[in-house]
């Protein structure tokens, strides 16, 4: 998977994908009869969620768990949590059986209230979550539940509650746990709320041994109306109780709860991958949902509701429903192509669920090759990794499920991209009977975009982006203002840039042989700029990015750090030049400052080609990045050491060119030493571009 590939947006990859989709669709019918799947919950999980809490009937008086003013009696709730006889761990079976009866009474009580009564008693106790509207919405749905609404609200409630509990954790803790189960088990929350209260929450949402409502919903295992509504009611009441306990704690400790800012998405243009979905295309998608091979019949209402929410411009709600269904559909495909149908359902508490993390991995748990990536193709895999996994990407599932995004400001661009990508999968993996739909003209633009998608957030892709941004910045140097007679004043002093420029020319001549024949480096590196157009062409060669080994990622990290420092230098030079020019014109520079400004202008003649040279080196190494695996451990360490020498040089360059230092003469001395080291290493033939050329020559021979 680590080889480059060309992509034909007009369908070469698409046709192959469609043929694969037809093959897999047939395999789905052979291996798995969709109609026979009535639940994705294992027998143990289904019993725990859908049956255990209904075994005993009881009718608890309202005043046993809540007062007329809305105060929650935690003592009553805690009494229903049972513990093992041999250790202090929670006995989840006994606890769910006992709490189930109380949940029924709580649900009946909430259903008896009007919205006005509910708000009067409880709305103030939701404020600590910073999303009271979610709980008001949940209450409204509890009064009149409809398809997919309870599940959607419950997913929003659990994510909001997790975020709020993380804020509480930070009252006395430092690094908030990423996983909800670790958060609920933390001593920080036990200190604030009490161990027994945390045990109650763990029964509902914090442990794979309990109901585990959050995970079975967010990972796409629960079907519409499969989660008993009474558990949603209980979580609403528990949130009220937590708010009351927190208020008491804040008063006692004179503390203030700080709400962490939400994650905001920048540069939405990059995330707007597909053309906007039309109403006609959404209607066509409804047909695909019903007939697609990767949508279980029990899950169809979720897909239809997601489409409705998109039409209503409720983009966050659409994506919250859609992501678990995308995971469910890919899980069906994953279990089919890897012939492990049992993994379509939830695992037992002792095993991990089959989630995106495993489905998008190179290997299965038994170290066999995972066949799903080859079935999906590189473009689909890169899209999924970009939007879900890469640390510098949007990571929408993580951010949404952990409550880190403001639902009121969720970008349409992301919703459109996720839904459009899902539509292309529905079309690819469909029955032959609807070939006419799959070839529909409305789908062609989406398929074209999906088949030509290239990663934007993988480190190797980000390295390319950094190089182009830096080139664009350096090109601005040619437009920097020049004071009258500046060239005469610069030329009147000994030109200390001559020797570095000769070295640069030597190195450029060494590099030219590794460039495509149609790309020529400047003959006069001191006076010519490598244009962004040339660099875009230079960077256009595809580089395989899926499942990069550690060595490739380590080298990429260092190359990116070098690129960042180069860009920093460029920005500092531009800023200092513009500032000093204004001061020169206004005659506010002292004599020493004027001389320093002239040294800066003289240094640009050398710094510009040096930075361009480094960017070319970075790009050539990026193109040949996978040859680093051919180095033995000693060669690899020597290569890393060389890259870190360049990094050290660029870091020193940032320091010397800063407004505080302005050490331009020292900058040229530093540059001369760095250029000598670069030329020496190139002459040793140890660069990745050189190894790649050598490998190519051997293969041809």
Structure confidence by residue, pLDDT tens digits, 495-504? 555 677 788 8
CA pair distance 72, 399, nearest whole angstrom: 31
* Percentage of residues of the chain with pLDDT beyond 70: 88
Q: Tell me, what's the pLDDT at 641? A: 96
Q: Which residue has the tokens 């799947």?
A: 37
HSE toward the beta carbon, residue 130, CA cutoff 13 A: 21
For residue 19, the model assigns a pLDDT of 44
Specify the pTM: 0.90
pLDDT of the residue at 366: 81
Q: Output the six-digit token pair for 462.
A: 């980000």
Residues comprising the chain, all counted: 701
What is the mean pLDDT of the segment spanning 109-117? Answer: 95
Give the pLDDT confidence score for residue 520 in this predicted structure: 67
pLDDT at 78 over 90: yes
Of 600, 607, 576, 623, nearest in space to 500 by CA = 607
Q: To which residue do tokens 């359902």 refer? A: 345
Annotate 284-297 with DSSP letters as a single string: HHHHHHHHBTTS-G
Dist CA 647 CA 640 (whole Å):
10
Give the three-class secondary structure for 208. coil
pLDDT band, residue 353 (cuts 50/70/90): confident
* Eight-state DSSP code of residue 90: B
Residue 32: pLDDT over 80: no
Q: In this structure, what are the phi and psi dihedrals at residue 369, rounded to the nearest 5 degrees?
A: -70, 130
Taking only the tens place, the pLDDT of each residue in 429-478 is 987 555 566 667 889 999 999 999 999 999 999 999 999 999 999 989 98
Q: DSSP readout, 241-296? A: HHHHHHHHHHHHHT--PPPPPPP----HHHH--SPPPPHHHHHHHHHHHHHBTTS-
């Amino acid at each position: 998977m680590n080889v480059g590939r060309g992509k034909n947006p007009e369908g070469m990859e698409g046709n192959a994908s469609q043929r694969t989709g037809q093959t897999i669709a047939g395999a789905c019918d052979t291996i798995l009869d969709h109609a026979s799947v009535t639940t994705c919950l294992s027998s143990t999980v289904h019993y725990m969620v859908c049956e255990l809490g209904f075994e005993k009937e009881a009718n608890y008086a309202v005043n046993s768990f809540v007062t007329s003013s809305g105060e929650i009696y935690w003592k009553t709730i805690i009494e229903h949590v049972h513990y093992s006889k041999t250790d202090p761990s929670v006995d989840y079976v006994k606890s769910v059986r006992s709490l189930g009866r109380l949940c029924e009474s709580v649900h009946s009580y909430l259903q008896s209230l009007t919205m006005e009564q509910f708000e009067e008693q409880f709305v103030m106790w939701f404020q600590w979550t910073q999303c009271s509207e979610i709980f008001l919405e949940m209450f409204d749905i509890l009064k009149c539940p409809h398809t997919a609404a309870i599940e959607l609200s419950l997913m929003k409630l659990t994510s909001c509650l997790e975020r709020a509990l993380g804020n509480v954790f930070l009252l006395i803790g430092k690094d908030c746990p990423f996983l909800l189960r670790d958060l609920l088990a933390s001593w920080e929350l036990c200190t604030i709320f009490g161990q027994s209260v945390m045990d109650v929450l763990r029964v509902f949402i914090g442990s794979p041994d309990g109901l585990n409502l959050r995970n079975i919903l967010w990972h796409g295992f629960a079907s519409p109306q499969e989660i008993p509504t009474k558990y949603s009611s209980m979580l609403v009441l528990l949130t009220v109780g937590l708010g009351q306990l927190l208020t008491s704690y804040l008063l006692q400790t004179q503390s203030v709860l700080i709400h962490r800012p939400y994650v905001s998405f920048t540069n939405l243009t990059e995330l707007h991958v597909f053309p906007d979905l039309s109403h006609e295309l959404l209607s066509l998608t409804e047909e695909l949902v019903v007939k697609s091979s990767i949508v279980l019949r029990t899950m169809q209402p979720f897909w239809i509701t997601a489409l409705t929410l998109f039409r209503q411009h409720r983009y966050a709600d659409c994506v919250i429903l859609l992501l678990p269904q995308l995971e469910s559909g890919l899980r069906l495909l994953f279990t089919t192509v890897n012939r492990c149908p049992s993994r379509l359902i939830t695992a037992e508490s002792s095993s991990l669920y089959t989630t995106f993390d495993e489905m998008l991995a190179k290997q299965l748990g038994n170290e066999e090759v995972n066949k799903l990536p080859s079935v999906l193709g590189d473009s689909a895999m890169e899209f999924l990794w970009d939007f879900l996994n890469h640390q510098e990407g949007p990571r929408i599932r993580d951010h949404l499920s952990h409550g880190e995004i403001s639902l009121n400001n969720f970008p349409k661009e992301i919703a459109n991209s996720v839904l459009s990508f899902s539509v292309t999968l529905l079309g690819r993996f469909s029955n032959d009977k609807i070939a006419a739909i799959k070839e529909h003209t409305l789908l062609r633009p989406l398929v074209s975009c999906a088949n030509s998608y290239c990663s934007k957030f993988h480190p190797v892709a980000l390295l390319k982006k950094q190089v182009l941004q830096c080139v664009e910045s350096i090109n601005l140097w040619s437009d920097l203002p020049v004071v009258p007679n500046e060239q005469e004043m610069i030329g009147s002093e000994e030109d200390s840039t001559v020797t570095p420029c000769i070295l640069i020319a030597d190195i450029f001549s060494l590099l030219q042989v590794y460039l495509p024949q149609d790309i020529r480096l400047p003959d006069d590196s001191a006076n010519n700029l490598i244009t962004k157009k040339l660099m875009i062409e230079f960077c256009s060669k595809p580089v395989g990015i899926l499942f990069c080994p550690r060595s490739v990622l380590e080298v990429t990290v260092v190359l990116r750090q070098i690129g960042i420092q180069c860009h920093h230098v460029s920005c500092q030079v531009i800023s200092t030049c513009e500032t000093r020019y204004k001061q020169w014109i206004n005659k506010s520079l002292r004599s020493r400052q004027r001389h320093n400004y002239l040294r800066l202008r003289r240094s640009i003649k050398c710094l510009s080609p040096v930075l361009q040279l480094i960017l070319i080196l970075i790009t050539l190494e990026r193109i040949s990045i996978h040859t680093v695996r051919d180095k033995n451990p000693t060669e690899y360490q020597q290569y890393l050491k060389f890259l870190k020498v360049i990094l050290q040089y660029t870091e020193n360059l940032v320091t010397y060119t800063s407004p505080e230092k302005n050490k331009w003469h020292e900058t040229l001395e530093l540059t001369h030493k760095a250029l000598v080291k670069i030329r020496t290493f190139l002459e040793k033939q140890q660069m990745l571009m050189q190894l790649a050329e050598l490998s190519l020559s051997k293969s041809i021979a």
